[in-house]
Copies of this chain bind each other. A is one copy, B any other.
Amino acid sequence: MDARSYKLSEIAEKIDGDVDGDGEIAIRGVAGLREAEPGDISFLAHPHYENLLTTTRASAVIVSRSLETKVPIVRVDDPYLGLVKVLSVFYPTGPVPVPKGIHELAVIDPSAVIAEDVSVGPFCQVGPGVSIGRGSKLTFSVYVGEKTTIGEDCYLYPNVTVRERCEIGSRVMLHAGCVIGSDGFGYTREKEIARKIPQIGTVRIEDDVEIGACSAIDRATLGVTRVGKGSKLDNLVQVGHNVTIGENNLIAGQTGIGGSTEIGDGVIMGGQAGVRGHLSIGDGAQVGAKTGVWGTVRAGDKVFGFPARELRLATRIHGALARLPDMLSRVRVLEKKLAELEKGGSIDSSAADNS
């Protein structure tokens, strides 16, 4: 952490914002609205927390351009982006540094090619034929299987497994406990017995990808399972064999993607979503949390529910369901009344029941 302080006006300039209030205020750190002390700058990105503006002890707050408030503020187009920038002012280091070089309790195959400025922490193993690019860091108990390649400036957190023959791009972050290149779930039944289909393929993780803690990316049966450039996968995500995930996707926690499914670019998926195998999801589509995708999703579509439907229809159905039990009674009443009419008699207005 950086002990120096900045004027609020200096910070505004660094984050492309405009000060509304006293630009001379000294700012020494960044904190959430609840935790902030005088001297801290905070941020408000979600309207749910707007009321905290009246109680925060922060000396200034980063807000969107449209917000009305009286605390000293820096107005920016995107408060989250403002936060990213102000954090890089105060906390420029990124992940915890790992000592350069190879720890004496790491096991490195002599045929591995390890570039300059690489860190390999204790209890890691680097297999035969592996190559690791400049500046990459293997923190602790990381396994890299034979012939796998890792690009530059990657950061592999503790207890990560990258199996054989995978390709990891540059600036990739693999969070603790994740597994890259596990066998795909492929069997064929011969007389009731599941016979394993050998999983001979591989995994390609492109540049600037993050894979969350305890997530698993299966290798392809043949060919490659791909996670495209800039895509971010959260914790406990499961990606089946031969899946293709395009670029700049955001896939939230506990989501599962069935084998051979193809996902375009710029797709957003909520937590606990599931996509069946052998489907395609178009560019820019949005899949709601907990949604179960059962068929093709076209580019730009928003789907929700289980099984997934177009978002507006899903919302209408959800609203209608609350009235479904009563509707059953109302249909029964209608039937009784109509039966009365059929008989030519008068309608008995007490015909309603609740059964």
List residues of chain A with CB under 8 Å of any chain B CB: 30-32, 34-35, 42, 46, 48, 78, 80-81, 83-84, 87-88, 91, 94, 96, 103, 105, 107, 121-123, 125, 127, 139-141, 143, 145-146, 157-159, 161, 163-164, 173, 175-179, 182-183, 185-188, 190, 192-198, 200-201, 210, 212-216, 218, 220-224, 230, 232, 234-236, 238, 240, 242, 248, 250, 252-254, 256, 258, 260, 266, 271-272, 274, 276, 278, 289-290, 292, 305-307, 309, 313, 316-325, 327-328, 330-331, 334-335, 337-338, 341-342, 347, 349
Contacts and interface: CB of A to CB of B under 8 A. Distances in A.
Given A143-B158, A253-B185, A324-B317, A122 B96 contact: no
Contact of A235 (B201, B218, B230): B218
Contact of A87 (B198, B232, B334): B198
B337 A193 contact: no
Main secondary structure of the interface of A (DSSP, over half): loop
A234 B338 CA distance: 56
Contacts of A252: 185
Contacts of A330: 331, 335
A196 B230 contact: no
Total copies of the chain: 3
Given A32-B222, A185-B234, A323 B316 contact: no
